[in-house]
A and B are shown apart, each in its own frame.
Chain A
């Protein structure tokens, strides 16, 4: 299995632009998670889906952030408009509930100038 696949690996954009991060979970997994990692705040859970349905989005920092999972093999995290403080590494992870082991992708390093 290829594992969790995230794209792009690196994204550099200017403040105010729309950013879309993509994730392909491991085939057969029914839960998907989006995390943000920064030096200051560590690893933060933004949102997670179970069977393509958003379960908890309380970690989404503000309305500029949105996430979708249109099917079991694809999810997006969108930031519109982006701001410099959004610069971070964004990870996607998937698991096969009820087994709690989460498998992480390699992450997308976002830089907003």
Chain B
């Protein structure tokens, strides 16, 4: 039932480096693609989201790149900081609020 595939499972980046997490989806009816950030002991929180009518969205150090033809999207974290260390989930939904999450990527940013 996994409709959103996420990689890598874990990622270690040096402070100041670029973190890249990739996701691929199957259902072309998906029309909303958010990324959630989860810190230990907390629930996931919306980080940034994109709709398929644009190819890129940037908010501060966080950028989503979206490739509709390839059915792929990715999260780029520029100038990664230790405070960015968390688990990141990509997700996709099709307007009916039925959201499917990727398996998650545990990011560790080393000082």
A→B interface (CB under 8 Å): 4, 31, 33, 42-43, 45, 48, 50, 55-56, 91, 93, 95, 97-98, 100-107
- What is the predominant secondary structure among interface residues of chain A facing chain B? strand
Encoded as 1 (CB less than 8 Å from any A CB) or 0, chain B from 84 to 111 comes to 0000010001011111111110000000
User: Which of B21-29, B38-46, B58-66, B68-76 faces chain A?
Assistant: B38-46
Enumerate chain B interface residues (CB-CB to A < 8 A): 32, 34, 36, 41-46, 49, 89, 93, 95-104
- Shortest C-beta distance, B5 to chain A (Å), equals 11
Closest Cβ–Cβ distance, residue B47 to chain A (whole Å): 11
Residues of A within 8 A of B89 (CB): 42-43
Distance of A88 from chain B, by nearest CB (Å): 14
Sorted from nearest, which 3 A-B pairs have the closest CB atoms? A104-B43, A42-B103, A43-B101
Which residue of A is nearest B89, CB measured? A43
Q: Which of B32, B46, B99, B101 has the most CB of A within 10 A?
A: B99
- Decide if B97 touches A106 in the complex (CB within 8 Å): no
Contacting residues, chain B, for A106 (C-beta < 8 A): 41-43
What are 16 inter-chain pairs, A to B, with CB distance below 8 A?
A4-B43, A42-B103, A42-B104, A45-B99, A45-B100, A45-B101, A48-B97, A50-B97, A55-B96, A91-B44, A100-B32, A100-B97, A101-B34, A103-B46, A104-B36, A104-B43
Given contacts A43-B104, A100-B34, A101-B34, contact A93 B98 (CB under 8 A): no
Task: Check if B43 sits within 8 Å of A101, measured CB to CB.
Answer: no
Q: Identify the closest chain A residue to B2 (Cβ).
A: A42
- Contact across chains for B95 and A100 when beta carbons are under 8 A apart: yes
Taking CB as reference atom, which chain B residue is nearest A93?
Answer: B43
Take A100-B32, A100-B93, A101-B34 as given contacts and tell me if A45 and B43 are in contact as well, using a CB distance cutoff of 8 Å.
Answer: no
